[in-house]
Amino acid sequence: MNSTNDFDVLQVPIIDLSLLQRDSQERPLVIKQIHQACRTVGIFAIINHGISETIIEEALNVNKNFFDLPLKTKEELMSHDMYNPVKYGVYQDQDGDQGILRSYLKLYSHPFEKFGPLWPANPPDYREKMGKCAMDMRKLSIQICGAIMESLNLEATYLEEKIERGVQMVAINSYSPISRSNKNLIGTAQHSDFSIITILLQSSSGLQVMETTEKTWKSIPLIKGSFLVLVGDLLEVLSNGEYNAVLHRVIRTSGDETRLSVAGFQSLEMDEILEPAIKLVDEEHPKKYKGCCLRDYLGYRDSGESKPFLETVKITSAIIKE
């Protein structure tokens, strides 16, 4: 099997957030760049985002320290409850000889005053350092969501209050080095995220996205100091299919070092139904999706169904004609 170096690289659009200031003459151009990125590839990188290198490095380091803890300590956080605000787990290599291929920690993070005290108490500085990063990522998500609303010709404040009240969940993944030669392993299987957007920080490369035109997997290069923004299922619903949730996965190759990723998923409140924006539905663009909420998604995941959740809320052409 080919190595990840044999996959084509996708040159993701790079958005300079410092140009999104209200008085910036470049703001309209940046909004157009965001529209093009969301519409064509479903992913873009952001620079000059305002989160300090110190906060980023401390978040990566404190998560590395967490995953380096003895397994017995981490197992205390294991849970099969989809609604548990703190959950640790592992995925094994299906062939068995690589052991644990990926460990993860999923954390509800907003409001931090409610969920922060439930986070791991070890390492002792985990809540402080990871908490700073999570709160900054949430502020960043709200800013980017406003720009994305504008890119859809909606008001920048469209859904703003609901997004501010919404659920933020942070998922940290630790991908172990693999030793087997000449074989790629799936670190995370292909999927899209149930979110409006996902903000992603990664310590090294490995992320791949499905390029929609050629229907091939493309590797995403690591852009130091940047975050990636991924279009999620909820944004596809909201935009009535103008933007498509990006299908992505993680590939691990022999010789790769441990890879850490921190993903912030921005959704609405648990029972807040999201439907396509009325302004984006007309005779030429009929409603393509039913309303859905986070509780619907979690219940579907808990049922063990394998079909992507987004497929269950798509309205077929037959239903549209009726």
Q: Which domain holds residue 158?
A: 4-321
Candidates 138, 175, 159; CA nearest to 253 is: 175
The count of domains in the chain is 1
Question: 106-115, pLDDT tens digit by residue?
Answer: 999 999 999 9
Q: What is the pLDDT of residue 183?
A: 67
- Is the per-residue pLDDT at 3 higher than 70? no
CATH number where 83 lies: 2.60.120.330
- Is the per-residue pLDDT at 320 higher than 50? no
DSSP per-residue string spanning 24-56: -TTHHHHHHHHHHHHHHTSEEEEES-S--HHHH
Question: 271-312, pLDDT tens digit by residue?
Answer: 999 999 999 999 999 999 999 999 999 999 888 888 999 999
- Is the per-residue pLDDT at 102 higher than 70? yes
Q: What is the pLDDT of residue 313?
A: 96
Q: What is the pLDDT of residue 187?
A: 85
Instruction: Name the average pLDDT for the chain.
Output: 91
Question: 125-177, pLDDT tens digit by residue?
Answer: 999 999 999 999 999 999 999 999 999 999 999 999 999 999 999 999 999 88
